[in-house]
Structure 1
Amino acid sequence: MTVPSRQTPSRALTETGVVPILRGKKTGEHLPAVLDTLVDNGIRCLEITTNTPGAFAAVTAAHERYGADVELGIGTVLTVDDVRAAEQAGAAFIVCPHTDPELADAALARGLGYYPGAFTATEVLTAWKLGATAVKIFPASVAGPKYLRELGGPIDGVPLLPTGGVTVELVPEYLAAGAIAVGMGGPLVGDALDGGDLGALATRTRRVLDAVAGTQV
Structure 2
Amino acid sequence: MVTRLEPGDRVRSTRIVAIVRDRTGVHLRAACDTLLEAGVSVLEVTTNTPGAAGVVADLIAAGATEVGMGTVRTVEHVRQAADAGASFIVTPTVSLPVGLAAQEAGMRWYPGAATPTEIETAWTAGATAVKVFPAGVLGGVRFIREVRAPLDDIPLIPTGGVRIDDIADYLATGALAVGMGSPLLGDAVASGDLKGLRVRAEAALAAVREATP
Q: Which residue of 2 aligns with 1:17?
A: 15
* Equivalent position of 1:52 in the other structure: 49
State the 1:149 CA deviation: 0.6
Q: Is 1:77 the equivalent of 2:50?
A: no
Kindly provide the amino acid, as one letter, of the partner of residue 45 in structure 2. Answer: I
TM-score by length of 2: 0.97
SS of equivalent to 2:118: helix
Question: RMSD of the alignment, in Å?
Answer: 1.0
Deviations 1:72-116 (A, max 9, x none): 000000100000110010000000000011011101111100000
Work out which of the residue numbers 171, 174, 178 in structure 2 matches 1:175: 171
- Give the superposition deviation at 1:196: 3.9
Query: What TM-score does the superposition give when structure 1 sets the normalisation length?
Result: 0.95
CA contact (8 A) 2:65 2:87 kept: no
Q: CA deviation at 1:166?
A: 0.4
In 2, Cα distance between equivalents of 1:78 and 1:123:
16
Cα separation, 2, equivalents of 1:196 and 1:166: 22
Q: What SS is found at the alignment partner of 2:164?
A: coil
Could you say what secondary structure the match of 1:127 adopts? helix
5 Å-filtered alignment, 1:92-103, equals 92-103=87-98
Counterparts of residues 146-165 of structure 1 (less than 5 Å): 146-165=142-161
| Aligned twin of 1:40 | 37
Contact 1:46–1:70 (CA under 8 A) maintained in structure 2: no
Q: 2:163·2:183 contact (CA, 8 Å) conserved in 1?
A: yes
CA distance in 2, matches of 1:167, 1:97: 19
Segments of structure 2 that go 5 or more residues without pairing to the other structure are: none
Contact 1:141-1:165 at 8 Å conserved across structures: yes
CA contact (8 A) 2:31 2:194 kept: yes
Q: From 186, 193, 202, give the equivalent of 1:197.
A: 193
Write the distance in 2 (CA, Å) between the matches of 1:24 and 1:131: 29
Between the aligned partners of 2:196 and 2:96, the Cα distance in structure 1 is 40
Output the CA distance in 1 between the equivalents of 2:206 and 2:154.
Answer: 25
Deviation at 1:43, TM superposition (A): 1.1
Q: Match for 2:132 among 118, 128, 137?
A: 137
1:27-83 CA-to-partner distances (Å, cap 9, x unmatched) read 222011101110111011100000000111110011112x1x431000000100000
Q: Tell me how far apart the structure 1 counterparts of residues 163 and 65 of structure 2 sit (CA, whole Å).
A: 23
State the distance in 2 between where 1:196 and 1:147 align. 35
Structure 1 CA distance for aligned equivalents of residues 135 and 10 of structure 2: 22
CA distance in 1, matches of 2:65, 2:165: 25
